[in-house]
């Protein structure tokens, strides 16, 4: 329980702090005033002022906040600051950049974490090794067996299961030469088999059926860590971050399309459970989960819902497009609606979490 509590505080607190650090850094870059930068919420346990900004450690360590000068009303300027430092009086494009910096900071953090994982733990590669063969499939008819390692297809060497799947998909049913190794007793034997993929259906990770060229094998699940240099780790980090961004956006879309059931939406309890489980498994798994949550936090904040960063970004874009600010009363009403939706979503997600615990 102690490991779970500490891990949740560090992960969620760190993610939200990094998000706010994005807002803070760009605001200061433009010379905007920041009255307070707090790590945590609630009563301040420690505070110190550098320049005009008060830096504080607060009682509740789950996140933090940045108080920009004149963020909501240009008339509310703290003592010691000027109108020139007021957020709401700055051009729309500068406010746009400050607000966008928070979600982008979360995506940047994900890249740094994935890069660190690749550099120190290596990039996990799912090996092209057969874990099972489907009955009456092209693979069974060709004589493939569980445990066979696929070395190449049509002379092209394979380093991963993904490369094997891509080669099969690209074949369009044409005959392929599989070079495999098979363990027979203490010996490894190299064999060549010829087979052609068949058009069939399979389920995606979202439970949808799709048509694809398949040979009827499943992965053994064996993973190998590929060691990386600093440069290759950075590239691997970009690749993994992009894949997770695409997967997360796809997940949101499938949720709206009702392909993913609404009861699969998780809240803070589910996140705490996942973080606690990964913390017990080891640091690498915890960092990978942290990167994924950071991506989800960044994309969630980009949704065009008032109260979230995406809502403010939308207002700024409209102001730049129409060359005049959005009516303040309209913004206030929109914020109330957005807050209501956000609270309702949190209640719904927490309800799902509780029901999962009860059913377990």
Query: pLDDT of 153-180, one tens digit each?
Result: 999 999 999 999 999 999 999 999 999 9
Q: What is the pLDDT, as a whole number, of residue 209? A: 83
* Geometric angle at alpha carbon 293, from 287 and 294, rounded to 5°: 85
Q: What is the pLDDT, as a whole number, of residue 191? A: 92
Question: Which H or E run includes 179?
Answer: strand 175-184
Task: Return the CA Rg of the chain.
Answer: 26
Q: Is the pLDDT of residue 75 over 90?
A: no
Q: Is the pLDDT of residue 32 over 90?
A: yes
What is the overall mean pLDDT for the chain? 91
Closest CA to 348 of 256, 265, 254: 265
| Beta carbons of 172 and 178 less than 8 angstroms apart | no
Contacts 24+ apart (CB under 8 A), 35-38: 35/67, 35/68, 35/69, 35/78, 35/81, 36/65, 36/66, 36/67, 37/64, 37/65, 37/66, 37/67, 38/64, 38/65, 38/66, 38/67
Q: What is the pLDDT, as a whole number, of residue 204? A: 81
Mean pLDDT within 86-115: 96
Q: Is the pLDDT of residue 207 over 80?
A: no
CA distance 247 to 251: 6
Q: CATH 2.30.42.10 spans which residues of the chain?
A: 125-226
Mean pLDDT within 316-340: 91
CA distance 65 to 52: 16
Q: What is the pLDDT, as a whole number, of residue 264? A: 80
pLDDT tier at 184 (50, 70, 90 boundaries)?
A: confident
Q: CB-based contacts of 64: which residues, under 8 Å, 6+ apart?
A: 13, 16, 17, 20, 37, 38, 39, 40, 41, 58
Least confident of 78-87, 171-180, 202-211: 202-211
- How many CA atoms lie within 13 Å of 3's alpha carbon, on the beta-carbon side? 12
Q: Is the pLDDT of residue 149 over 80?
A: yes
**Quick count: other Cβ atoms within 10 Å of Cβ 140?**
16
Name the token pair of 184.
């027979």
**In the 8-state DSSP scheme, what is residue 77?**
-
Which residues are identified as catalytic?
20
Q: Which residue has the higher pLDDT, 74 or 232?
A: 232
Q: Is the pLDDT of residue 47 over 80?
A: yes
Share of the chain above pLDDT 90, in %: 64
Q: What is the pLDDT, as a whole number, of residue 15? A: 92
pLDDT tier at 91 (50, 70, 90 boundaries)?
A: very high
Q: Please, what's the b/e burial string for 269-307 (b: 16 or more CB within 10 A of its CB; e: otherwise)? A: ebbbbbbbebbeeeebbbbbbbbbbbbbbbbbbbbebbb
Closest CA to 138 of 83, 205, 217, 209: 217
**pTM confidence score:** 0.88
Q: In the CATH scheme, what architecture does the domain 125-226 have?
A: Roll (2.30)
Q: What is the pLDDT, as a whole number, of residue 355? A: 87
| Beta carbons of 63 and 92 less than 8 angstroms apart | no
Q: What is the pLDDT, as a whole number, of residue 6? A: 86
Q: What is the pLDDT, as a whole number, of residue 144? A: 94
Q: What is the pLDDT, as a whole number, of residue 359? A: 82
**In the 8-state DSSP scheme, what is residue 190?**
E
Q: What is the pLDDT, as a whole number, of residue 107? A: 97
Least confident of 37-41, 91-95, 166-170: 37-41
Name the token pair of 302.
């980009």
Q: What is the pLDDT, as a whole number, of residue 256? A: 82
* Geometric angle at alpha carbon 187, from 182 and 191, rounded to 5°: 35
């Amino acid at each position: 329980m102690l490991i779970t509590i500490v891990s949740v505080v560090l992960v969620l607190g760190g993610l939200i702090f990094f998000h706010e650090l994005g807002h803070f850094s760009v605001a200061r870059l433009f010379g905007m005033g920041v009255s307070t930068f707090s790590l945590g919420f609630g009563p301040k346990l420690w505070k110190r002022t550098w320049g005009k900004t008060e830096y504080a450690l607060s009682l509740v360590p789950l996140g933090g906040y940045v108080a920009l000068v004149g963020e909501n009303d240009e008339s509310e300027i703290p003592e010691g600051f000027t109108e020139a430092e007021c957020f709401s009086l700055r051009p729309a494009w500068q406010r746009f950049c400050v607000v966008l910096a928070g979600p982008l900071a979360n995506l940047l953090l994900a890249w740094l974490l994935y890069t660190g994982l690749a550099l120190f733990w290596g990039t996990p590669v799912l090996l092209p090794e057969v874990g099972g063969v489907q009955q009456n499939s092209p693979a069974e008819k060709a004589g493939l067996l569980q445990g066979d390692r696929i070395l190449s297809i049509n002379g092209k060497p394979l380093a991963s299961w993904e490369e094997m799947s891509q080669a099969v998909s690209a074949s369009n049913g044409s005959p392929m030469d599989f070079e495999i190794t098979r363990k027979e007793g203490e010996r490894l034997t190299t064999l060549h088999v010829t087979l052609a993929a068949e058009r069939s259906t399979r389920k995606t990770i979202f439970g949808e059926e799709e048509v694809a060229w398949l040979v009827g094998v499943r992965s053994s699940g064996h993973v190998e860590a590929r060691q990386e240099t600093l440069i290759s780790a950075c590239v691997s980090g970009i690749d993994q971050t992009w894949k997770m961004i695409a997967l997360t956006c796809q997940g949101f879309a499938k949720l709206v399309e009702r392909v993913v059931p609404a009861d699969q939406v998780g809240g803070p309890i589910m996140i705490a459970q996942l973080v606690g489980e990964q913390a017990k498994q080891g640091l690498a798994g915890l960092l990978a989960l942290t990167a994924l949550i950071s991506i989800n936090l960044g994309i969630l904040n980009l949704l065009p819902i008032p109260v979230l960063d995406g809502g403010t970004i939308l207002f700024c874009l409209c102001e730049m497009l129409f060359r005049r600010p959005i009516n303040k009363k309209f913004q206030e009403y929109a914020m109330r609606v957005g807050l209501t939706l956000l609270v309702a979503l949190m209640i719904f997600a927490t309800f799902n979490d509780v029901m999962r615990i009860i059913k377990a």
